[in-house]
Structure 1
Amino acid sequence: MPNGGTVAELGEFGLIRAVTENRRQPATTLLGPGDDAAVVAAADGRVVASTDVLVQGVHFRLDWSTPEQVGRKAVAVNLADVAAMGAVPTSVLVGLACPSATPAEVVKGLADGMWAEASGAGAGLVGGDMVQADQLVLSITALGDLRGRPPVTRSGARPGDIVAVCGRLGWAAAGLAVLHRGFRSPVTVANAQRYPEPDYAAGPKAAEAGATAMIDISDGLLADLGHIAELSEVGIDIRTGQLEVHRRLVEVGTALGADPLRWVLTGGEDHALAATFPPFVELPEGWRRIGAVTMPDSGVTVDGEPYHEESGWEHWR
């Protein structure tokens, strides 16, 4: 891609060539970008599909994040949903809308981040669309392969099951608090808000181990476990003594006058996975127990008591 210039100067088709040429695809991509549609292998006979929309100023800010980090985040939040179904990521489709004055290097950076995140998960970026708009918007569709297993839904939890998580909790919320205060450090905490780092293999491993329900933690631990509780018609109790509150979160909370445990319980955008398992199951590597499934109609509780603060993010609230 030529240095400098805007997307209008490069043109739609020049921009498409610039972000797709000389990119490697996995074996599941039978036909990649360049035709009317992609062709992706679906050996299982079923395809897991998920879509997310990321809007500048709502989900990301380019004064906080580099374009590469935004591209990584856009793909990661979708692939985490695929993993939460117990599926292996295979493909990503991208819709990009942006103003004509957008620097072409910004789009190149977004594409670099998307390709890097997708390929790191073993998936291909197989196609999409680009259009002119008043602001920068990314729409990502991710596909996955169940490899012969049934999908792990939100509705399978049963009383007596173990509740477990895999991945960091509270880091993205702490990073958001840091960035909102105008700080850029600790870098590890700020970066947790800029882009998540889901363990994509953890979902299929949980499915193989017999997980009864699973969800991607995008809106907050309590809020997302609430979806499992509602659809499974059970209660869930979280034990704070079993939660990991990293010392770095404690340090940031102390500096900002915030409660790090609240970040862990209600902070979104870490895209860790939460799942329920039968009590006799040995948890897969990387998963840790944080609570138990209780009797129906008891909701989501913390140490046996209702949690009276807001439990997580909800659009339009």
Structure 2
Amino acid sequence: MPSQQGPTEGTVAEIGEFGLIDSVTRHRSQPEHTLLGPGDDAALVAAPDGKVVASTDMLVQNVHFRLDWSSPAQVGRKAVAVNLADVAAMGAMPTAVLVGLACPGATRTEQITELADGMWEEAERAGVGLVGGDVVAADQIVISVTALGDLRGVTAVRRSGARPGEVVAINGRLGWSAAGLAVLGRGFRSPVSVVNAHRYPEPPYAAGPEAAAAGATAMIDISDGLLADLGHVATASGVGIDVDSNALPVDQKLIEVASALGAEPLRWVLTGGEDHALAATFPSAREVPPGWRRIGVVAAAADRGVGVTVDGKPYEPEQGWQHWRG
């Protein structure tokens, strides 16, 4: 969605704080549940459920994104997507995002308007409004997004509800972002479908509320890797989880890329982060919702210990991404 805004030439220091805000918000449309968007002291967002699901995340230049690898629009899409995925993982329907942006004064205005274009594009894809935020000066680009959601009368699906005997299922792609990162790290820019999976995820937003309605007992956004995030579910629920590697989707494109790079595609699927697919547990007597794929089972802690195994055995390295440790 190309920018429809005012002047974009020069730097953000030249256009000024309020000129920049006007440039990225003017003439934008909002969904019905945005009662009041940008332009006042705060926004108003409808919350028919009476409870608001809220999540926030930050993206720092050269930590979470590189502008020599991704366009500003792709970074904008990613910033919104990674936050809305957390809302969907609670079983809520995303409703709105607020954005805080810090950047150097020498940043080109068109770079920020393109970043905003990507944010608005992803917000529209998810059916949410970009309802407000703030801009400040800093030494590098930092993006903070707060996402809101509405449960629409259902109970929030937490990480702590998994019980022995239940099935584990996923919805969305696994391993694609890790493969894209590996390609970019080798200095390549193709295949584009794999590289773009790292530049911006495509979370299955509707799958979260659908899983909640279908009786999901626990759910999580896969941001740090399948095994690492299932480990959070296992710990919170006091259970063991065993993943069936033969049930995992390993796309032919990942196999081809792994072969070219001398890598193992299954490792990307098991430990690669930033795909923002969803993982959930369901009672074994129920069918998982359409679009969900069974990949494992929940076991009593006495059987498996609290943690995650693959085909009945520990998988090393199991740990996904952690800040300060890498």
Which band: TM-score by shorter chain?
over 0.9
Structure 2 unmatched runs, 5+: 1-5
| Identity among equivalent pairs (%) | 73
Structure 1 unmatched runs, 5+: none
After the TM superposition, list the runs of 4 or more consecutive aligned residues in structure 1 that deviate by more than 6 angstroms: none
What residue is the counterpart of 1:47 in the other structure?
52
Which whole-Å deviations, capped at 9, do the CAs of 1:162-182 have from their partners, x for residues lacking one? 000000000000000000100
CA contact (8 A) 2:197 2:275 kept: yes
1:1-317 equivalences in 2 (<5 Å): 1-296=6-301, 297-317=305-325
Distance 1:235 1:155 in 2: 12
Distance 1:36 1:2 in 2: 24
Which whole-Å deviations, capped at 9, do the CAs of 1:68-121 have from their partners, x for residues lacking one? 100000000000000000000000000000000000011101110101101111
CA contact (8 A) 2:174 2:269 kept: yes
CA contact (8 A) 1:165 1:275 kept: yes
Shift of 1:2: 2.2
Shift of 1:188: 0.2
Which whole-Å deviations, capped at 9, do the CAs of 1:10-48 have from their partners, x for residues lacking one? 110000000000000011111110111111111100000
Shift of 1:271: 0.2
CA contact (8 A) 1:97 1:133 kept: yes
Shift of 1:3: 4.2
Distance 2:100 2:92 in 1: 23
Aligned letter for 1:305? K
CA contact (8 A) 1:265 1:311 kept: no
Shift of 1:266: 0.2
CA contact (8 A) 2:72 2:111 kept: yes
Distance 1:64 1:53 in 2: 19
What residue is the counterpart of 2:3 in the other structure?
none
Distance 1:258 1:196 in 2: 21
Shift of 1:298: 4.2
Aligned length: 317
TM-score by length of 1: 0.99
Distance 1:164 1:314 in 2: 24
Which whole-Å deviations, capped at 9, do the CAs of 1:195-242 have from their partners, x for residues lacking one? 000110000000000000000000000000000000000000000000
Shift of 1:295: 1.2
Shift of 1:62: 0.6
Distance 2:236 2:263 in 1: 32
Distance 2:203 2:45 in 1: 23
CA contact (8 A) 1:240 1:290 kept: yes
Secondary structure of the equivalent of 2:267?
helix
Aligned letter for 2:200? Y
Secondary structure of the equivalent of 1:203?
helix
Distance 1:3 1:150 in 2: 45
Distance 1:127 1:309 in 2: 41
* Distance change (3 Å), C-alpha of 1:298 and 1:310: closer
Which whole-Å deviations, capped at 9, do the CAs of 1:288-317 have from their partners, x for residues lacking one? 000000111242000000112142111111
Shift of 1:285: 1.0
Distance 2:135 2:210 in 1: 36
Distance 1:308 1:3 in 2: 49
Secondary structure of the equivalent of 1:65?
coil
CA contact (8 A) 2:228 2:319 kept: yes
Aligned letter for 1:192? A
